[in-house]
Amino acid sequence: MNEIFLIYLWENKLLSFPLETTDGQTLEVLYPGIRNLDSGPDFFNARIRIGSTLWAGNIEMHINSSDWYRHRHNSDAAYQNIILHVVFAHDKEVFSNNLQPIPTLELAGRFDDTLLLNYRRFTESRKWMACEAHLHHVQRFTWLSWLDRMIVERLEDKTELTLNLFEKTKHNWEDVFYSRLMQNFGFNTNEPAFMLLASKLPLNILLKHADKLFQVEALLFGQAGLLDEHVQDDYPKMLKKEFEFLSVKYGLQPMKKELWKFMRMRPVNFPTVRLAQLAGLISRHGQMFAKFIHAPNTDSIKELLDISASVYWNNHYRFDVPGDHKPKQLGDESINLILINSVSQVLFAYGKYMNEEQHQDKAMMILESMPPENNAVIKSFSERGVQAVNALQSQALLHLRNHYCKPRRCLECRVGQLLIRPANSKND
């Protein structure tokens, strides 16, 4: 038994009626209140009738009545307006700050035991999704409405992270976008190294040389620690010499090259190729965020990302190691991931901060117009009959998996709430 289960019963009115308080008075729940996810009472602005008296105020929930004192609510001003104490077991009388008894509702024996049995089966399940055997009972409208909620939650979480970065960059959106773009170019495996590189090579230095691709490459590869004394080809030797001059000019201290990962990766995803592509992007666009924010639609944004690495990389994936002849253009899948994980998230955060809904709408439009991601999580949902039709829904499913399915927050998930109920009590 836990408080989440009691909240689920209360919020969804899954109690045996009629109700009465522990002192024998009749209790009618007119409105259960608004769930509070922060500190303070569990529900705000509830309306109940005890006997013939109508009450409006807050509701607090505990496993045992005595938890009121164990949590020191008796001396907390935030709990002065409690009109009802809802508990599983009433083991002690509870009084307010002015020593008035607080009406109490005991839930033990007042709900269908099947609810608790189903809940325990879900939370103790070792399956990838606790509810996967029952998903065929969930109507499509329920899924769509819940995924809408999930994408909003995900974008709000990403907005918080982006605005924290905005504070660290001293309110510079170009720096924010550069940092997020660098992180994205790591494509998971090299994400930590790219993030470190972003912190060690400020955008303003790169922008001073954006009109010379060779110098942008020298700065990126040199600061990444990939231009050591062992390079043999003329091109990396020239980059090395250029970086030696620029590093003294700007006081740069290169990373350790061992931080970069090449093992078990497709050559096209090698960090050397990604850095060369990033250099092309910076050299072409300079202040990138300004151009992305004003691009009218998804296609025009994709055009901004239509770049290739410099000529040397047509025949290489690493320095000094010749490879097959192939221009190293940023591919469609990579462009899509950048749009999903960098462009749309920064646009949404910018719209939130500026209170300009058109930028938030553009971020949603980008996600809705793109195909769903092709990763292990989305494939697993698909195998269980939950299909994402676009990137908006695949992002929502990622949030669902990480924040609800994995931690078994089934009672806080709309799908889980419905499936935990006994069959004869489901209305959806």
The Cα 9–Cα 111 span in angstroms is: 8
User: Could you give the count of Cα atoms lying within 13 Å of 371 in the half-sphere of its Cβ?
Assistant: 8
Residue type, 57: G
Residue 427 has pLDDT above 50, yes or no: no
The whole-number pLDDT of residue 75 equals 87
Assign 314 a pLDDT band (cuts: 50, 70, 90): very high
Residue 209 has pLDDT above 50, yes or no: yes
Smallest CA-to-CA distance from 414 within 424, 426, 406, 398 is with 426
User: Helix 234-250 and helix 213-223: axis angle, to 10°?
Assistant: 80
The pTM of the full predicted model, rounded to 2 decimals, is 0.87
What are the tens digits of pLDDT across the range 358-378?
999 999 999 999 999 999 999
C-alpha distances (whole Å) from 367 to each of 30, 154, 217, 308, 390 are 40, 12, 31, 24, 7
Residue 195 has pLDDT above 90, yes or no: yes
The Cα 257–Cα 221 span in angstroms is: 10
What does residue 316 show for φ and ψ, rounded to 5 degrees?
A: -140, 155
Please compute the mean of the pLDDT values over residues 13-26 and round it to a whole number.
94
Strands (E), 104-238: 104-106
Residue 424 has pLDDT above 60, yes or no: no
The whole-number pLDDT of residue 130 equals 96
What are the tens digits of pLDDT across the range 117-152?
999 999 999 999 999 999 999 999 999 999 999 999
The whole-number pLDDT of residue 20 equals 96
Assign 228 a pLDDT band (cuts: 50, 70, 90): confident
The whole-number pLDDT of residue 243 equals 97
DSSP per-residue string spanning 318-384: ETTEE------BPPHHHHHHHIIIIIHHHHHHHHHHHT-HHHHHHHHHHHHTSPPP-SHHHHHHHHT
> Which residues, 6+ apart, have CB-to-CB distance to 413 below 8 Å?
146, 400, 404, 405
Assign 425 a pLDDT band (cuts: 50, 70, 90): low
Residue 354 has pLDDT above 70, yes or no: yes
The whole-number pLDDT of residue 423 equals 67
Please compute the mean of the pLDDT values over residues 33-48 and round it to a whole number.
95
The whole-number pLDDT of residue 428 equals 47
Strands (E), 40-81: 43-50, 53-64
The whole-number pLDDT of residue 26 equals 97
